[in-house]
Amino acid sequence: MIPNYRITHKTGSCRSGIDLTGTITHVVINNNSLCGNNPNKKSSWSEYDDQIITCKKCIKILASITGG
């Protein structure tokens, strides 16, 4: 059984000044993403929850945990 999780994105400075990849949303449990891509010193997790997971690693790990 998977514990309660949030679907959210990072806030703060982006990877580069010309980052055009858009917002990547992650599955977050206890302030850590399933894929391990966590915020650094200049960013944090958003206070707002998103509806759709866009991180491919998080999707894959969540599917393996839930059996789907």
Domain span at residue 46? Answer: 6-66
Q: Note whether residue 10 is domain-resident.
A: yes
Q: Residue 35 and residue 28: Cα distance in Å, rounded?
A: 9
Confidence of residue 42 (pLDDT cuts 50, 70, 90): confident
Helix (H) or strand (E) holding 12: strand 6-12
Q: Which whole-number Å values give the CA distances from 51 to 9, 13, 19, 26, 48, in the listed order?
A: 11, 22, 22, 10, 10
In a domain, 1, yes or no: no
> Does residue 61 lie in a domain region?
yes
**Quick one: DSSP state of residue 4?**
P
**HSE, side-chain direction, 13 A CA sphere, residue 20:** 1
The reported pTM is: 0.81
Structurally, the chain folds into a number of domains equal to 1
Q: Look at residue 29 and tell me if it is in a domain.
A: yes
Identify whether 38 is part of a domain.
Answer: yes
Averaged pLDDT of the chain:
85
Q: Is the pLDDT of residue 45 over 80?
A: yes
